[in-house]
Amino acid sequence: MCLVHMCGGNANMDEIMAVVKEHNLKLVEDAGQAFAASYKGTATGLFGSAGAYSFDFFKIATAGEGGIFVTNDENTYKLADSYCDHGHDHIGNNRGMENHPIIGFNYRISELHAAVGAAQTRKVPAIRTANLKHKAFLQKELSKVQGISFSKLGDDNGDSGTFLNILMPDTETAKRTVDEFNKAGVGGFNYWFTNMYHFINQWEHIKGLKTASKLPIQVLGAPQDYNNLQLPKTQAVVGRLISFGIRCTWTEEELKNLASKISECATKALKPVNA
């Protein structure tokens, strides 16, 4: 099972782990957006056999590019260590003479990027504290607008505070709200349903399995026809969701301004619903 902790939050791990145990599954966690998030005191990414955090330019800690892979299993660690670096086993002090237990790829991070990532990681507790304060302010202000609700996390105490996730009553209202944001020049949000490559509605390349070279599933037979994959419950939730990226650098004035602009736009978009 590959679990994605989206928008800086945490999934309900008690429920997920019950399914993992019941069906004897291996859990792999994509905590790409959830570095600094946790569930009941355990960091996201540490529940499964392996986890990963993205350190791209958009994340709470950035290395410019790159990320971190975590596992508690020595064999998995060694395989990942070799896989990301041309299969090198990293034993000894002569790179040219190292052995290659497997075929690997060139996914290794550079020393320079890693140094930036290490420095940025030290700032994460302070960034998270500021983010959570800003998010709490926005949620307090926006909860005054009837019709706006907020997505729920598995554990509110473990939020990394990187996203404010607004849920509108339905997809049409969310689309109208996005139109109002665009008209009013409100930026800094993602409407995953139509705009972003994170959601299946924009995955024509995956649905069509458009690849530069053949994938194993194309040679051996695809287990899933992505063109006919129907996800009505997911579509209904993601259609309602608008996510604002939180900035730790926002001033009080910027926060107040943003809260009032979001409220105004949402109120206009909600008119037909509340009428």
Does residue 67 bind ligand PLP (CB under 6 A)? Answer: yes
Does residue 44 bind ligand PLP (CB under 6 A)? Answer: no
* Residue 179 tokens, joined: 């139109």
Q: Phi first, then psi: what are they for 161, rounded to 5°?
A: 75, 20
Burial 44-79 (b: 16+ CB within 10 A, else e): bbbbbebbbbbbeeebbbbbeebbbbbbeeeebebb
What single string gives the DSSP state of each residue in 64-94?
Answer: SS-EEEEES-HHHHHHHHHHTBTT----SS-
Among 9, 32, 117, 158, binds ligand PLP (CB under 6 A): 32
Does residue 54 bind ligand PLP (CB under 6 A)? Answer: yes
Among 1, 4, 126, 184, binds ligand PLP (CB under 6 A): 4
- Kindly indicate which of the ranges 30-38, 129-137, 177-185, 224-232 contains the residues binding ligand PLP, using the contact rule CB under 6 A: 30-38
Q: Cβ atoms within 10 A of the Cβ of 167, count? A: 18
Among 8, 16, 29, 30, binds ligand PLP (CB under 6 A): 30
* Residue whose beta carbon is closest to ligand PLP: 32
The answer to whether the CB of 259 falls within 8 A of the CB of 137 is: yes
Q: Phi first, then psi: what are they for 154, rounded to 5°?
A: -65, -40
Number of residues in contact with ligand PLP under rule CB under 6 A = 7
Minimum CB separation of residue 6 from ligand PLP in Å reads 6
Q: Rounded to an integer, what distance in angstroms lies between the CA atom of residue 210 and that of residue 55?
A: 27
- Kindly indicate which of the ranges 27-35, 82-90, 91-99, 152-160 contains the residues binding ligand PLP, using the contact rule CB under 6 A: 27-35
Does residue 160 bind ligand PLP (CB under 6 A)? Answer: no
- Kindly indicate which of the ranges 29-37, 77-85, 134-142, 180-188 contains the residues binding ligand PLP, using the contact rule CB under 6 A: 29-37
Query: In this complex, which beta carbon is closest to ligand PLP, that of residue 158 or of residue 266?
Result: 158
Binding site for ligand PLP (CB under 6 A): 4, 30, 32-33, 54, 56, 67
